[in-house]
Amino acid sequence: MVSKLDPWGAVHVDDYSKLFEEFGISSFDEILPELKDPHPYMRRKIIFGHRNYESVLRAMREHRPFAVMSGFMPSGRAHFGHMMVMNEIIWHQQQGGDAYAAIANMEAHAVRGISWERCRSLGINEYILSLIALGFQPQENSHIYFQSENYRMRDLAFELGIEANFSEVSAIYGFSGETHLSHMESVMAQSADILHPQLAEFGGPKPVVIPVGADQDPHIKLTRDLAYRTRKFLVEQREGYISIRGKAASTSLMQAAEQVLRQGDFGKVKRYEEHIDVTDIQDRQGLADGTLREAMDQLIIKLETVHGEYGFIPPASIYHRFMTGLAGGKMSSSRPESHIALTEDPKEAAKKIMRAITGGRQSLSEQKKLGGEPEKCSIYEFLVFHLSDDDNELLELDAECRSGRRMCGTCKKDVAERIQRFLTEHQQAREAARERLPEFGIKD
Ligand code: TRP
């Protein structure tokens, strides 16, 4: 539904549009029309940006393998912000993807000093039970895992460490001479979390999307760079042709690549010492929209894996907006009054809603005159993000509030009831999920 009011577009988008120019994140607006049945977060512009999500979209559409992966640091209580990532993982699994959820206990232990035991308990009780309750399914290539127990990932982290040097990683994470080695190792673990679904034992190279908050983009950028660096070839789109650059590829590998490209019958193939150009391309459309480059890359990746290389595809990512804290400012795990935990007592949650900051005016009469400001209201935001399935309902609410016909008390009571109901049901589902932990290979 297209609407002029765009009641979910306005919230803090200004802050985020900077990310597009400064960091090279693409706007999700261009992708949205391509999705048949987008997730409400996409429709409501909560997911506002992406890197290379086209690769995932095409795989989804053509029923080729793809995966979704994200991670949770077990350092405190899981709240509605974390639930967004969980829902995004589950949605992609439901679209046919493999799904991976890491409990980042190496990171929590190394960076936050949380004991292994506590990491385990927080991992299960805060994150894993909710993931299962929300619909994460056990499947052949879908895993919920603790970083410390995933040795394929850890081996990959060690290998990736060869490609990352101290000065670039310091520039990204602000490391100094005081930073200890395990902290650095946990950074490589995160890159390996992201790339390991592409290892041969998990089905090989495939597009993988990482749903995260925008603050996690530096990790994504680094991991995309590392993926490029492990490749033997770079398949690059040029003006009117495609160039395949060998990166210290042996002569025999260059010859093999040339052969693969000739067999593909894309156009005229000419091999030079360190690159191969494909010109006179017939499929102009494919050249223009990038699908031809992708098709060639798939052949080259296949070739690389046959020769024992990783052939990683740079991971894609999607970025969601953060919810505002209930007391204003950011929603944060470390400030209980700012968030509602998924394990929160439903009555307590209702009270937090009743105390929350709204977009209401100083006085009742002023509100009747001027109308409320839903774009500044943490209660309205809860509806947009989580507690209303119905876009029309939101449009009506938005209009009623702005026109001064609806007062904050009514809204708060309504949302407080909804959140109580939601949490009661979710917490029951969590108890049922506890019984199912063994299906996911997790011992309670
Ligand atoms: N570092 C992330 C956090 O602080 C957690 C994390 C670990 C992660 N591995 C990941 C996130 C892989 C995305 C993908 O919350």
Assess whether the C-beta atom of 296 lies below 6 angstroms from ligand 1: no
Assess whether the C-beta atom of 212 lies below 6 angstroms from ligand 1: yes
192 alpha carbon – ligand 1 mean position (Å): 11
8 A C-beta contact, residue 69 and residue 208: yes
| Confidence (pTM) | 0.93
DSSP secondary structure string for all residues of 130-198 = HHHHHT---BTTBEEEEGGG-HHHHHHHHHHHTT--HHHHHHHHT--TT--HHHHHHHHHHHHHHHGGG
Q: Tell me: domain 344-440, CATH 1.10.240.10, correct? A: yes
* Neighbour tally for 260: CB within 10 Å: 18
Please tell me the predicted confidence (pLDDT) of residue 1.
30
Contacts for 59 with CB less than 8 Å, ≥ 6 apart: 65, 66, 206, 207
DSSP secondary structure string for all residues of 307-321 = TT---PPPPEEEEEP
Provide the residue-wise pLDDT of the chain in tens; the chain has 444 residues. Answer: 332 334 444 444 556 667 777 778 999 999 999 999 999 999 999 999 999 999 999 999 999 999 999 999 999 999 999 999 999 999 999 999 999 999 999 999 999 999 999 999 999 999 999 999 999 999 999 999 999 999 999 999 999 999 999 999 998 888 999 999 999 999 999 999 999 999 999 999 999 999 998 888 889 999 999 999 999 999 999 999 999 999 888 999 999 999 999 999 999 999 999 999 999 999 999 999 889 999 999 999 999 999 999 999 999 999 998 888 888 777 887 788 889 999 999 999 999 999 988 888 888 888 888 989 988 898 999 999 999 999 999 999 999 999 999 999 999 999 999 999 999 999 999 999 999 999 999 987
What single letter denotes the amino acid at residue 154? R
Q: Which residues pair with 143 in a beta bridge?
A: 100
Q: What tokens were used for 147?
A: 């970083």
Query: How many whole angstroms separate alpha carbon 66 and alpha carbon 294?
Result: 14
276 class by beta-carbon count within 10 Å (0-12 exposed, 13-18 middle, 19+ buried): buried
8 A C-beta contact, residue 4 and residue 395: no
Pocket test for ligand 1, best of 51, 73, 92 (most atoms within 8 A of CB): 73
DSSP secondary structure string for all residues of 415-442 = HHHHHHHHHHHHHHHHHHHHHTGGGGT-
Assess whether the C-beta atom of 304 lies below 6 angstroms from ligand 1: no
Please tell me the predicted confidence (pLDDT) of residue 15.
63
Ligand 1 atom closest to the Cα of residue 190 is 9
Contacts for 298 with CB less than 8 Å, ≥ 6 apart: none
8 A C-beta contact, residue 328 and residue 357: yes
292 alpha carbon – ligand 1 mean position (Å): 33
Assess whether the C-beta atom of 103 lies below 6 angstroms from ligand 1: no
Query: How many whole angstroms separate alpha carbon 150 and alpha carbon 201?
Result: 13
Query: How many whole angstroms separate alpha carbon 57 and alpha carbon 62?
Result: 9
Question: In terms of DSSP bridges, do strands 47-51 and 316-320 run parallel, antiparallel, or are they unpaired?
Answer: antiparallel
Please tell me the predicted confidence (pLDDT) of residue 14.
54
Pocket test for ligand 1, best of 70, 82, 103, 318 (most atoms within 8 A of CB): 70
Contacts for 444 with CB less than 8 Å, ≥ 6 apart: 124, 434, 437
Minimal CA–CA distance to 134: which of 68, 85, 97?
A: 85
Q: Which CATH superfamily is domain 17-230+313-320 in?
A: HUPs (3.40.50.620)
